[in-house]
């Protein structure tokens, strides 16, 4: 099936490019230099025969191509082909299907074994996908979203967030000297701008802003957790150097709202429905496995299905 779709797509690409050129050449050769259009010359709407999916559009060596065949193939084409003019796309699809029948040979003959297996796999996959799509495409209600939120989000223990500042220097001696200046009334922000090796926070007076657990190196995080708001640490060594840390503020991280999590909650509700449906079907089914002890390597023994 995939090969057939790709063949159609390839030919339609040529149609998309060549079609307007042919139309332009025809208009240039056949149309008069000037055309006078009167108010009475409105074009008549085309008249079409009644049709349904079983309507035969063409016969090739007795094999019938129906409108249903054309509709199904068009539906399976990539999205960029769907915007082509209907007449152009219809003609291109029908032409390709005629060529496919010609290349296929005797359409009444039994299918090659490997192709039969591929089509069974494809049909099974498509039928299963329809069941899943029917579940995933439904609208999740606000009540369902709120119920899941109350269980999975609202009950989560709030995580702490910290707002801290630091001054980073190379040695412990430098750090102790800065602490002496701070204890003597020195301005933390001014000293951070002057002496900190962390240029980003230094320019902001040492401020690191709000951060949660796991965002800083372990030594720095441990120092922050151990401080009261407004307090300053002794020199703390990390892989970056020596820090003087000040805890400026602390809070519980606010939980996201239902609206902020609407997409994630909806996906989780529908995912659970798919899992539940599979489990329901599994429990009601008779499933037999391990019927023989087969070598997994035989899954790539492609010669077993070749003719």
Q: What's the pLDDT score for residue 41?
A: 61
**pLDDT tens profile 60-100:** 999 999 999 999 999 999 999 998 999 999 999 999 999 99
- Cα separation, 23 vs 89, in Å, equals 15
Q: What pLDDT does 256 receive?
A: 93
Higher-pLDDT residue of 230, 3: 230
Give the pLDDT score at 42: 65
Question: So what's the pLDDT on residue 21?
Answer: 29
24 has pLDDT over 70: no
What pLDDT, on the 0 to 100 scale, is given for residue 140?
A: 96
CB-CB contact of 11 with 95 (8 Å): yes
Q: Tell me: the pLDDT tens digits for 127-181?
A: 999 999 999 999 999 999 999 999 999 998 889 999 999 999 999 999 999 999 9
What is the average per-residue pLDDT within 278-307?
92
pLDDT of residue 114 exceeding 80, the answer is yes
The answer to whether residue 25 scores a pLDDT higher than 50 is no
Q: Which CATH entry fits the domain spanning 160-252: 3.40.50.880, 3.10.50.40, 3.90.1150.10, 2.60.120.260?
A: 3.10.50.40
Question: pTM of the full predicted structure?
Answer: 0.61
Tokens matching residue 28: 């240039």
In the structure, what pLDDT confidence band is assigned to residue 31 with cuts at 50, 70 and 90?
A: very low
Looking at residues 47-71, what average pLDDT do you find? Answer: 93
CA distance 148 to 262: 11
- Mean pLDDT (whole number) for 218-239: 96
CB of 250 closer than 8 Å to CB of 161 = yes
Q: Supply the mean pLDDT for the chain.
A: 87
**Measured between alpha carbons, how far is 189 from 178 in angstroms, rounded to an integer?**
12
DSSP string, 205-268: TTEEEEEETTSS-HHHHHHHHTPPTT-BPSPEEETTEEEEEEEEEEEEPPPPPTTTTHHHHHHH
- pLDDT of amino acid 306: 87
pLDDT of 28 higher than 50: no
Domain definitions of the chain by residue range: 1-31+53-107, 110-156+258-285+298-307, 160-252
Average pLDDT over residues 297-302: 90
């Amino acid at each position: 099936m995939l090969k057939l779709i790709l063949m159609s797509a390839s030919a339609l690409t040529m149609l998309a490019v060549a079609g307007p050129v042919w139309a332009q050449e025809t208009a240039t050769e056949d149309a008069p230099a000037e055309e006078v259009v009167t108010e009475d010359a409105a074009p008549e709407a085309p008249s079409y025969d009644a049709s349904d999916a079983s309507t035969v559009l063409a016969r090739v060596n007795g094999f019938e191509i129906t409108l249903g065949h054309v509709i199904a193939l068009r539906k399976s084409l990539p999205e960029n082909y769907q915007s082509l003019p209907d007449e152009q796309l219809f003609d291109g699809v029908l032409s390709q299907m005629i060529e496919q029948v010609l290349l296929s040979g005797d359409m009444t003959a039994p299918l090659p074994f490997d192709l039969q297996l591929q089509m069974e796999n494809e049909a099974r996959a498509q039928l299963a996908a329809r069941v899943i799509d029917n579940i995933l495409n439904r609208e999740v209600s606000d009540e369902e979203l709120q119920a899941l939120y109350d269980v999975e989000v609202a009950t989560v223990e709030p995580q702490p967030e910290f707002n801290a500042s630091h001054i980073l220097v190379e040695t412990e001696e430098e750090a102790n000297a800065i602490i002496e200046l701070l204890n003597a009334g020195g301005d933390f922000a001014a000293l951070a701008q002057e002496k900190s090796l962390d240029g980003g926070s230094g320019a902001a007076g040492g401020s690191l802003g709000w951060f949660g657990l796991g965002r800083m190196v372990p030594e720095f995080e441990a120092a922050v957790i151990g401080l009261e708001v407004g307090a300053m640490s002794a020199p703390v060594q990390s892989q970056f150097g020596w820090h003087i840390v000040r805890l400026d503020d602390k809070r519980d991280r606010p939980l996201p709202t239902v609206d902020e999590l609407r997409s994630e909650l909806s996906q989780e509700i529908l995912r659970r429905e798919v899992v539940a449906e599979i489990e329901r079907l599994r429990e009601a089914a008779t499933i037999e496995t391990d019927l023989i002890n087969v070598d997994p390597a035989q899954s790539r023994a492609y010669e077993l299905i070749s003719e």
